[in-house]
Structures are given as structure tokens and as C-alpha cells.
Amino acid sequence: MTDYAELINRIKELKREKNAIILGHNYMDYAVQLVSDFTGDSYDLAVKAMKTNADIIVFAGVYFMAEQAAALNQDKLVLSPDPKAGCTLSDALDVETLKKFKEEYPNAPVVLYINTSIYAKALADYIVTSSTAVKIVKALDSDIVLFGPDANLANYVEKKTGKKIIKVPPNGRCLVHASYVKQFVEMARKKYPNAVLMAHPESPLEILEAADFVGSTNQMIKFAKESKYKEFIVATEIGMLNALKLQVPDKVFYPLISTESCACARCPYMAMITLDKIKNSLENEVTKVIVPKDVAEKAKEAFERTMKLLDKLS
């Protein structure tokens, strides 16, 4: 049986000894969020990584997130507790495919979702999250935009902006959100009649159109905190309920679909990051995330260009 108290204490000791911080994604297990210095969505954690004075960053999330932190912090040691923790979205877009689309649409800006490999990001003009995608695309001086790799988010952006969105690739999907169907919403609303539905824009349009609120994981937390409602159905990866329960403890949250009903409710890659692996990562300083300098610089430029445009729009 795992002694969580002992593990947590050891991780805290290692953080102090090594001047390290842990960045934990909102989808992480409850215990991992407890040892994280910051929790948030991919974009929020990337910004936190840029502002830290720590010598070591342990990224408790899937590998593309650790790559992003490494590209933005080339003077720091960035560790991934399990570099095999991948992402179906990140895997959906390779560099050669992106280059072909860029050649076909040479004047179209390239907007990539943060759930993308660092090598693809090095070819992007802008890097967005679900909370910033619509805002950035709407602000661009182009009626045609190359957007990838999430086709569901691309559909949502197209609907919200009225622009022609070229999906790169045409069918990139998150394995969790791609499993959602409208019947799940109907069943959840019947089961929880007093709850409002919050949906992540990686979900299919039929889910988003049925939702009471659409937003990123951070936006869901904000909405739940400020809402007059007390019960919420959450249409995103089930680990999100951990973040909601930690940050909005006075309200009640239900998954759109539970792991008992469907294994698809939990991202198998997110579940690969555990307390044991975080402890091992800190103790042995593994696995070091290495991004070639030229790739890191180009990806950083795209990220900073996005931040500047967001600042201008705010």
C-alpha cells in the first residue's frame, strides 16, 4: 500500500533541497495536484514556467507540455516524470504534414493549439489554447487560417469567427473528447437535473451546442467559482474534477461520463504521471527534456508573439 504522506513529504524536501517547482496540469490526479506549486491549463503553466526563479521545473503533465516549458526556459533544467506520457493531438501533426499545408496556403497564418509537438510549434506563427484560440484567430488580418491539430477546436473557432479554417490535419482529435456523443449529455442531464453543463472546446460541436458554458479548464474553474449554480456536469477529462474540488470546494461536480461507464473518461497518458514518478524525477533528475536551440527559439518566438497580441487585445 502506498504511503502518500511519506511520498508527499519526501517530494517537498526534494523541492526545497534542489530549488525545484512542480507544475501540475488541471487533469492530474488529486495527490499530484497536492504537491504541485502551480496548477492550471497548458498555457497558464507555460507562462508560470517563464516567471519562476526555480533551478528545476518538474512538469506534471504530458510530454508536449514539458517540451514547451523547456523551450521557454533554456537556462533551466526541465524534467518529465514520464516522457512516454504522450498526447493523441500532439501525435496527430508531424512537421512534414504541416510543411505541405504551408506550401499549399503560403499566405495563411499558422495557428497551432498548444497540444502540439515543439517541432511543429517551431513552424507556427501563433500558439494558442482553448481559452485564446477564438480571440487570436478573430484578430488576425486574414480570412483563411491554418489551424491544428484539433479538428473539434478548429470547428468551434470557425463557428465563432466566421473565418475559413483549414484543419491541419483534417481529423486530429483528443481521444477523450472525441468519444463524447450527445446521448451522454441527455443521460447526464436526466441524472443530474439541477446541474449546468460545462464543456471543453475540444469536444464535438454537438456537445458544445448543448452546453451551458464552453471554456478551457481554467475558465471552467472561474465560471464555477462565480456562478450562482451549485451543481455542474463537467464535459472534459475526468481528472478535471480534482482541480474543481480543490479550488471550488463548496460546489458539486459530476463527470459527463465516469470511468465506470467508459474507460475513455480518463486520459491514459495523464494517468501515467504519479507521485512515485515525480519523486524519482526529482531524486535522480530524470528525464531531462532536451529541445534543440534553434527549434526552441522559433517556438518561443511564436509563443511570445501570441502573448504580445493578447496583451494588445486585452
The pLDDT of residue 211 is 98
2: confidence class by pLDDT, cuts 50, 70, 90 = low
pLDDT digits (tens, 9 = 90+) for 162-194: 999 999 999 999 999 999 999 999 999 999 999
Q: pLDDT > 90: what percent of the chain? A: 95
- What is the distance between the terminal CA atoms of the chain, rounded to a whole angstrom? 49
pLDDT digits (tens, 9 = 90+) for 11-40: 999 999 999 999 999 999 999 999 999 999
- Across the chain, what does the average pLDDT equal? 96
Q: Which residues pair with 255 in a beta bridge?
A: 234
90: confidence class by pLDDT, cuts 50, 70, 90 = very high
β strands within the chain, DSSP E: 20-25, 38-40, 56-60, 77-79, 110-113, 126-128, 144-148, 164-167, 196-199, 213-214, 231-235, 252-255
Distance CA 249, CA 289 (A): 35
Q: What values do phi and psi take at 219, rounded to 5?
A: -65, -35
pLDDT digits (tens, 9 = 90+) for 206-229: 999 999 999 999 999 999 999 999
- Name, in order, each residue with C-beta under 8 angstroms of 106's C-beta and a sequence gap of 6 or more: none
Q: Exposed e or buried b for every residue in 251-287, given b needs 16+ CB within 10 A?
A: bebbbbbeeeebebbbbebbbbbbbebbbbbbeeeeb
Q: How far is CA 204 from the centre of its chain?
A: 17
The pLDDT of residue 261 is 84
pTM, full prediction: 0.95
Burial category of 126 from C-beta neighbours within 10 Å (exposed 0-12, middle 13-18, buried 19 and up): buried
Whether the CB-CB separation of 5 and 250 falls below 8 Å is answered with no
User: Quick one: average pLDDT of 75-98?
Assistant: 97
DSSP 3-state of 287: coil
Quote the cell numbers at residue 174.
Answer: 483528443
Of 131-135, 214-218, 256-260, 267-271, the one with minimum mean pLDDT is: 256-260
User: Quick one: average pLDDT of 233-258?
Assistant: 97
Q: Is 60 exceeded by the pLDDT of residue 1?
A: no
Q: Is 80 exceeded by the pLDDT of residue 273?
A: yes
Note the helical H segments in 85-150: 88-92, 95-104, 118-121, 133-139
The pLDDT of residue 287 is 98
